[in-house]
Chains A and B, each alone.
Chain A
Amino acid sequence: MFHWLEKHPFFFAVGVFLVISFAGLIEIVPNFAQASRPVIGTAPYSTLELAGRHVYIKNSCNACHSQLVRPFKSETDRYGHYSLSGEYAYDRPFLWGSKRTGPDLMRVGNYRTTDWHENHMKAPADVVPGSIMPAYTWMFTNLADINTAYAEQLTVAQFFSTPYNKPVPMKDGSTKVVAMGNNVTEANAMALEEAKLIAADMKDQDVKDAVANGQIPEIVALIAYMNSLK
């Protein structure tokens, strides 16, 4: 066996590679598989939340806001529990960001609310004195792209088995089912239902009117996404 290997350097190299990669594989693969599994309490995004995520990406929010709480006391005091890799299981792509011009938004849904976001996106400096964040007034008139969000839901459900319409375990022991429409009309109707709940907590009359007329301004989708970040 060993003589044979010594006479065949190519197969010797293959053998060495196999032995070394075996060690690597049993160290890395189980750990990786475990860590990338969604943690309990992480649910897929609903259609409206996903549309809000697209608004977030479209406006490059991730250029100034990170979504990654590091395990330091100063960060967990401010933002909540440090991030776990499984919490990003349904983020495609993840929006960790690499620079904090503004605060981290990983768990902003825990400590900010619909009405605050509404005030803040209209005029940031009015609520946070000295804030350099610009106002995003166009989000109150531009309409969210629900069709694209639904297309993404269909894709991830089919190719990555993202658990839509299936029970997902939550932290309190209950389960949550994130519903996805059977077709694009149904998806739009479901997103509108969700948007109505958000709009009920908002004050902008134009946004309320738009939602009552069956339209979903970007701000509503974005707030749904912000509220889902927990």
Chain B
Amino acid sequence: MNKLYLGGAIFTILMLAFTYISVGGSEGGLNGDIVNMLAVAGAVALVIITVFVVIKYVRQMQTDTADGELADESWDNIGEYKNPVPMGWAIMFLGTMIWGMWYFLIGYPVNAYSQIGEYNEDTAAHNEKFNAQYESITGDRLVEMGESVFLAECKVCHGLAADGIDGKAANLKVRLEAKTVKHVVENGSNNQLLGTEMPMPDRNGLFNNNTGALITDAEIDAVAAYVANGMSGAGADVFAGACASCHGEDGQGMEYVAPNVAAFTPELVANVLNHGKKGVIGTMPAFDRLNAKQKEAVGAYITSLSK
């Protein structure tokens, strides 16, 4: 027992005494609280370990002598032994190299994080879930889905009530308003309502078969009122003479020729969503980012509004 150990022991006891006084004397103190006890135990362990590790190395520096064969090289008169690398170091060195090769070739390329990869996985998982849940819905559930899509995507223009907010957009509660019919008859139309280019001629291409002449202003007003009135009332004769050859006698349209002007159909709505349209009110952009089922649902909802 030399004076180094003695000094260490005295220092340890002093530190422990200080810890005991400061902890035991404070409010709460060593009152059996498990966290306090653990903290004190930790402090005691730290003090003891620190003191005796320091003593070990101080003693080693005092007494150790080194030996072995010196290397030829001398750096400012500081030599170096030709000792072999310790076994633990050698193993760690080799292990790091092997791990490095694994990480470079397999670890990183296979497991690396990619934000876009995560996005793609999320999207695929969501689409799968969506399809599993909604692929086959019909009827009222389809209309419900259409309403929720409408409220998310369409209401900013067409309004919560789908009435077009005082003419800012098309009123979807009726198939056509008189001003729309009038505009289309006067200016023609090419809105791809059938999914393909199928232009309707303007008034210079519209003959009234009843009179054998181009459609007149009065006839346009009459047929506009007739269509806007749900295909009833005055103007039926003009419709039969000028419009029915393409749009059908009852206004139901003809496949590949002309769209339905009597009622909304899901196909019609889907085509508007795919291609957008431009009319008397303004331009509607295409909403082709909706998926097929959502378009079908919006079609079902809008069709249900005017029934």
Chain A, residue nearest B120 (CB): A71
Nearest Cβ on chain B to A2's Cβ, whole angstroms: 11
Chain B, residue nearest A126 (CB): B165
Nearest Cβ on chain A to B112's Cβ, whole angstroms: 14
Chain A residues near B289 (CB-CB < 8 A): 77, 80, 110
CA–CA, A118 to B284, complex, Å? 14
Chain B, residue nearest A107 (CB): B289
Interface residues as binary, A124-158 with B (CB distance below 8 Å gives 1, 0 otherwise)? 00111100000000000000000000000000000
Chain A, residue nearest B157 (CB): A116
**Is the CB–CB distance between B119 and A73 below 8 Å?**
yes
| Contact size range, A | 20 to 34
Chain A residues near B165 (CB-CB < 8 A): 126-127
Residue from A72, A80, A116 in contact with B282 in the complex, judged by beta carbons closer than 8 Å: A116
Interface residues of A in 99-123 (CB under 8 A from B): 110-116, 119
Is A82 part of the contact surface with B, judged by Cβ < 8 Å? yes
Is A186 part of the contact surface with B, judged by Cβ < 8 Å? no
Interface residues as binary, A145-173 with B (CB distance below 8 Å gives 1, 0 otherwise)? 00000000000000000000000000000
**Is the CB–CB distance between B168 and A111 below 8 Å?**
no
Residue from A73, A113, A201 in contact with B126 in the complex, judged by beta carbons closer than 8 Å: A73
Assuming the contacts A127-B165, A129-B160, asked whether A73 and B122 have C-beta atoms less than 8 A apart, the reply is yes
CA–CA, A127 to B284, complex, Å? 15
Residue from B122, B153, B283 in contact with A114 in the complex, judged by beta carbons closer than 8 Å: B283
Is B281 part of the contact surface with A, judged by Cβ < 8 Å? yes
Nearest Cβ on chain B to A16's Cβ, whole angstroms: 19
Chain A residues near B284 (CB-CB < 8 A): 113
Interface residues of A in 194-224 (CB under 8 A from B): 201
CA–CA, A121 to B160, complex, Å? 19
Is B207 part of the contact surface with A, judged by Cβ < 8 Å? no
Is B285 part of the contact surface with A, judged by Cβ < 8 Å? yes
CA–CA, A56 to B148, complex, Å? 32
Residue from B116, B119, B160, B283 in contact with A113 in the complex, judged by beta carbons closer than 8 Å: B283
Chain B residues near A114 (CB-CB < 8 A): 282-283
Nearest Cβ on chain A to B183's Cβ, whole angstroms: 14
Chain A residues near B286 (CB-CB < 8 A): 110
Interface residues as binary, B205-228 with A (CB distance below 8 Å gives 1, 0 otherwise)? 000000000000000000000000
**Is the CB–CB distance between A201 and B282 below 8 Å?**
yes
Nearest Cβ on chain A to B231's Cβ, whole angstroms: 29
**Is the CB–CB distance between A128 and B283 below 8 Å?**
no
Chain B residues near A72 (CB-CB < 8 A): 119, 122
Q: Give the total of B residues in contact with A, Cβ under 8 Å.
A: 24
Chain A residues near B116 (CB-CB < 8 A): 71, 82
Is B123 part of the contact surface with A, judged by Cβ < 8 Å? yes
**Is the CB–CB distance between A127 and B122 below 8 Å?**
no
Chain A residues near B20 (CB-CB < 8 A): none
**Is the CB–CB distance between A73 and B282 below 8 Å?**
no
**Is the CB–CB distance between B119 and A115 below 8 Å?**
no
Chain A, residue nearest B75 (CB): A6
Chain B, residue nearest A71 (CB): B119
Chain A residues near B287 (CB-CB < 8 A): 111
**Is the CB–CB distance between B282 and A115 below 8 Å?**
yes
Chain B residues near A201 (CB-CB < 8 A): 282-283
CA–CA, A201 to B284, complex, Å? 12
Nearest Cβ on chain B to A181's Cβ, whole angstroms: 28
Chain A, residue nearest B282 (CB): A115
Chain A, residue nearest B153 (CB): A111
CA–CA, A56 to B156, complex, Å? 21
CA–CA, A158 to B157, complex, Å? 42
Interface residues of B in 149-189 (CB under 8 A from A): 152-153, 156-157, 160, 165, 168-169
Interface residues as binary, B271-290 with A (CB distance below 8 Å gives 1, 0 otherwise)? 00000000001111111010
Is B115 part of the contact surface with A, judged by Cβ < 8 Å? yes
Chain A residues near B123 (CB-CB < 8 A): 73, 76
Chain A residues near B122 (CB-CB < 8 A): 72-73
Nearest Cβ on chain A to B159's Cβ, whole angstroms: 8
**Is the CB–CB distance between B282 and A113 below 8 Å?**
yes
| Extra A-B contacts (5), CB below 8 Å, given A76-B119, A114-B283 | A82-B116, A112-B285, A115-B282, A126-B165, A127-B156
- 17 A-B contacts, Cβ less than 8 Å apart? A6-B75, A72-B119, A73-B122, A73-B126, A76-B119, A77-B289, A111-B153, A111-B287, A112-B285, A113-B283, A113-B285, A116-B157, A116-B169, A127-B165, A127-B168, A128-B156, A201-B283
Measured CB to CB, the residues of A under 8 A from B are: 6, 71-73, 76-78, 80, 82, 110-116, 119, 126-129, 201
Q: Which 3 residue pairs across A and B have the least CB separation, nearest first?
A: A115-B282, A71-B119, A113-B283
